[in-house]
Structure 1
Amino acid sequence: MTARLIEIFLPESEVERLESILARHSRRFWRETVPGRAEKYTCIVQQRYTERLLGDLQAAYGDNPDFTARISRLEAVIPPVLETADTELPAPDELRPPTAIERFFSRDRISTTELYEDIEESLHITPTFLLTVFLSSVIAALGMRSGQTAVVIGAMVIAPLLGPTMGIAIAATIGDPRRGAKAATALCVGSTVAILAGALVGALVDIDLTVSELRNRSLVQPADIALALACGAAGVLAMSKAASLSLVGVMIAVALVPPLAATGIFLGIGEWVLAANALFLFTINFVCLNVAGIVMFLVEGLPPKSWRVTTGLLSAWTAILIVLALVAAGRLVFGLGTLERIGSLMVSG
């Protein structure tokens, strides 16, 4: 069921204006009087119209202290709310009609407000956030050290890096510098903590540098770039369809947590070249996640405030990715980033 139940509370003086707004976005709504001389409107909104309805409500009543809107998912309704070409409501004059691709991908996408709510908690640098990052990195480091892939996957499940990573992509797509800075700060702090946790493991535990789980995090191959792009795209698609955030978090963490933990391990044992290689892998993965994330958010119809700013940021991320990919290719061509070269460094270490 791809619809939302939206409850709106407003003073009686705003009733006529609100009904004109609801008529453009909802086919079913009800009015009732509630205590406090307020009016309550309950409406069923097809999911593809939730975004534009919330935008109109914010523009009209965002500064009204007596305005409240509550959104909840609707499991079922009779008669059903169908999403077909015949039931499509006309777009407001100021909005361009959605393209066929946007209509296809955004028909069951949750609204921007709901996306923000999903990631907002993990953008705050709290003791729980720091401790969870620390523990997930320790688990990942110990899993790589012993070559236990299942343990590394377990670390990805609890790593709280979904919010900061997706927050940066959403902020770049919409053009929200405040939230982008907040997400970037959380990711920088979390990444630092993850590296320090890995360094602690490297300093306290015997490390076998020939273990493949570690070796694979010290070089960049074309498959790694493809993996990070796929993780970013799949993560956005799953998140925007209200999939389990734990599963989406694994998609994002698979590209971030192991390289960060490996960077710390190599620093802890004094292998500076290998640490730089692992950090280089993290950087490429992070850039790939942002490129794929912005592209998928745009494909799904997430509305930028300024197309010029959004396309500029996407172009900048893409240019950085191309430069990093060329550097990685050059390292492979000259034998600096091959398995044999990395293996010789580990053996000598």
Structure 2
Amino acid sequence: MYDKNIEPQIIKDYSSLIYKHLHKHPIKKEFHKNIIDFPSSSTIFLLVGDTEIKSWLHNAKAKNFTLYIIPHASNPLAQKYFHLPTTFEELFTLTTKQHYFTYCNEKLLFASAIVGDKIWITNQNLFLSFLKNFYNIRLFKTNITLKFHKLISVSLLIEAGDARYIKEKRDTFFTDIQTGCKKVAAIIYAPTSVIEAFKLRYFLVKKDQKYLPKGIGTLVTDTITITTDKDLTLLCDNEEPIISKDVVIKSVPTNLQIVSGAQKCSKEGKETIRVDRLPKDEEFINFYTKRTLPFLPIAPEEAFADLFKKIKENAKISIEYTVLLLISVLMATFGLFQNSSPTIIGAMILAPLMAPVISLAMGIIRFDETLVKNSFKTVFISTLLALLLALGFTNLFPIEHMTQQMAIRTNPTLLDLGVAILAGLAAAYGYTNSKVGESLAGVAIAVALVPPLCVAGIGLGWGNLDVFYKAFLLYLANIVGIVFAAGIMFYLLGYASKRYASAALIIKLLLLASIFFPLYVATQTVLKEERIYEQIKYLKFKNVTLQLDNIQYHKNGATLFISVLSKKNLSAREKEAILQQIKKKFPAENLIISFKQML
């Protein structure tokens, strides 16, 4: 049987080759679907395209024919499906085999059927595919019925077909599964975020992966029935797409003996269901089917349960927490007065204040009122206790001497906020990942909460509100930076409230803005002081050294306290010359200059 569009000379050549191998003259007929004319046990040669082959095989599947499919440019799918050689003569080196056909909604399938959006399978340009579908990715509710199982999930698309064909095409997903030749297989793609969709799309190209990623499920069985809650595109063998809500993929036995290069069917294979990486939670299914795919992943409740339990416990004050807090505050205060870095570092590691701050970040991003109240209460009481303890210690030991370790914590800048933000990211990630949990001690050292709080208490004990304000500003900057960054990390990791994520982010941005402006002013002050120090440093006088003792700020500007140190007594003329040079350098500042002779 041949296609009428094929040249007569080609038909004649093939007829000669058939006679050469079978020693019988073939009866040449134009292709038609009626197979009643052919007696049982006929040997039939098909020289037609894929569409005609499908229709003829469907009608002839119950007949005991021996069938040769002649390779031709019009039947590439049949060549691949039956593993045919490239030349006609090689057909006669192959053996006949009984085949099982794969059907999709009663249509013979040579390749695969795709339910959903085909672009994620067929588009080879990953980047363009991602960009074009960035805002339009939407999952659909999927009810899948197998022989002995039922599954409800969501899908971006489902690719199904003959088990051996699907395994050969997507071998990454079936490395440890025997598909058999009497089964159909399906791959369910169900990313839960745009980022995950991109990762899955990239995964299709990576041939060296040996595991199922999140959002992928595989099925191997006799019949797969897919029912969806809305009209979807069904694409069978890249033919014209149709719209359907119900798709049935099944394997059907035939009586045909087809000459092919496929391996002989010796194993039926077992039904295999691997759907543990698919979202099956009812709340998640409802959430994902009512909106476009979120850009970032959202953690399921079961993944959140253990972390949330830990976060809730950390939000409350306990005896153990209070004891550690008091010890760390006292240790930090001792270290500040002693100017001892090791003692202060020990207090940083011991201090438990980071835990309720992280809980506060989670409470805001989850819009959990109880968690926010408990964690805020713990942070507030901890702050009050630390201030009172440091103040009391300062009054018991009235040493009014600003050590270097104290001074470090009275110059807050935007750099400190940056460190706090990085520490907050690391702390939140450590809470969600047990593998890096041991690094939290380093986070506590990087962004110390207790030492600046103790310096603020010391400032109160001295009655020095400037020291109190600057140290407490640093403490607040650390708190806000950690809360902001930890919330962002929880959001990126999928722990944000699905309903209130945007509102929570706005709250965190407002918190950040509230601390940003006073820190900006403080940073400008520090930069101004640095410029003054540099200017004094470059004022050169013979046998004289200038020393900036202090800077006091007031409404009308700043007052500089400068000492002029010399090895000999300066004359009035020399003093006046030095004084004029300093005034010329700082015309806008009030100057209090004292002349001192060095021994």
Q: TM-score, normalised by structure 1?
A: 0.66
Single out whichever of 154-163 and 316-325 deviates more from structure 2: 316-325
User: Aligned in 2, Cα 1:263/1:226: closer, same or farther, shift over 3 Å?
Assistant: same
Q: Structure 2 residue aligned with 1:265, among 428, 435, 458?
A: 458
Does the alignment pair 1:144 with 2:309?
A: no
User: 2:413–2:520: 8 Å Cα contact kept in structure 1?
Assistant: no
The unaligned stretches of length 5 or more in structure 1 are 1-19, 26-47, 50-79
Using the TM superposition, give the Cα deviation of residue 266 of structure 1 relative to its aligned residue in structure 2, in angstroms: 2.0
Does the alignment pair 1:311 with 2:535?
A: no
Tell me the matched-pair count.
272
Amino acid aligned to 2:501: W
Using the TM superposition, give the Cα deviation of residue 227 of structure 1 relative to its aligned residue in structure 2, in angstroms: 1.1
1:133 alignment counterpart: 325
User: 1:123–1:164: 8 Å Cα contact kept in structure 2?
Assistant: yes
User: Aligned in 2, Cα 1:264/1:243: closer, same or farther, shift over 3 Å?
Assistant: farther
Does the alignment pair 1:124 with 2:330?
A: no
2:471 alignment counterpart: 278
Q: Structure 2 residue aligned with 1:89, among 278, 284, 287?
A: 278
Mapping for residues 287-302 of structure 1, pairs under 5 Å: 287-302=480-495
Note the aligned Cα RMSD (angstroms): 3.8
Which protein is richer in helix relative to its size?
1
1:236 alignment counterpart: 428
Using the TM superposition, give the Cα deviation of residue 208 of structure 1 relative to its aligned residue in structure 2, in angstroms: 6.5
User: 1:232–1:252: 8 Å Cα contact kept in structure 2?
Assistant: no
Amino acid aligned to 2:303: S
Report the secondary structure of 2:421's partner residue. Answer: helix
2:397 alignment counterpart: 205
Report the secondary structure of 2:419's partner residue. Answer: helix
User: 1:171–1:179: 8 Å Cα contact kept in structure 2?
Assistant: yes
Amino acid aligned to 1:269: W
User: Aligned in 2, Cα 1:342/1:328: closer, same or farther, shift over 3 Å?
Assistant: farther
User: Aligned in 2, Cα 1:229/1:185: closer, same or farther, shift over 3 Å?
Assistant: same
Report the secondary structure of 1:124's partner residue. Answer: coil
* 1:224-269 deviations in Å (ceiling 9; x for gaps): 1221111111111111112576742652473311111111122223
Does the alignment pair 1:176 with 2:368?
A: yes
> Quick one: distance in 1 between partners of 2:510 and 2:373?
17
Mapping for residues 98-109 of structure 1, pairs under 5 Å: 99=295, 102=297
Report the secondary structure of 1:344's partner residue. Answer: strand
User: Aligned in 2, Cα 1:208/1:343: closer, same or farther, shift over 3 Å?
Assistant: farther
1:163 alignment counterpart: 355
Using the TM superposition, give the Cα deviation of residue 179 of structure 1 relative to its aligned residue in structure 2, in angstroms: 0.9
Amino acid aligned to 2:519: A
Amino acid aligned to 2:522: A
> Quick one: distance in 1 between partners of 2:396 and 2:531?
28
> Quick one: distance in 2 between partners of 1:328 and 1:21?
64
Using the TM superposition, give the Cα deviation of residue 270 of structure 1 relative to its aligned residue in structure 2, in angstroms: 2.6
User: 1:110–1:240: 8 Å Cα contact kept in structure 2?
Assistant: no
Identity percentage of aligned residues = 20
Amino acid aligned to 1:111: A
Q: Structure 2 residue aligned with 1:344, among 535, 538, 550?
A: 550
> Quick one: distance in 2 between partners of 1:179 and 1:148?
37
Amino acid aligned to 2:319: P
Report the secondary structure of 2:347's partner residue. Answer: helix
Q: Answer with 1 or 2: which has the greater Rg.
A: 2
Using the TM superposition, give the Cα deviation of residue 206 of structure 1 relative to its aligned residue in structure 2, in angstroms: 5.7
Which protein is richer in strand relative to its size?
2
Does the alignment pair 1:322 with 2:516?
A: yes
> Quick one: distance in 2 between partners of 1:128 and 1:322?
34
User: Aligned in 2, Cα 1:309/1:334: closer, same or farther, shift over 3 Å?
Assistant: same
> Quick one: distance in 2 between partners of 1:328 and 1:236?
28
User: 1:229–1:288: 8 Å Cα contact kept in structure 2?
Assistant: yes
Amino acid aligned to 1:251: V
2:138 alignment counterpart: none
Greater relative contact order (Cα < 8 A, sep 6+): 1
The unaligned stretches of length 5 or more in structure 2 are 1-148, 155-190, 193-209, 218-276, 535-546, 553-560, 562-599
Amino acid aligned to 1:299: L
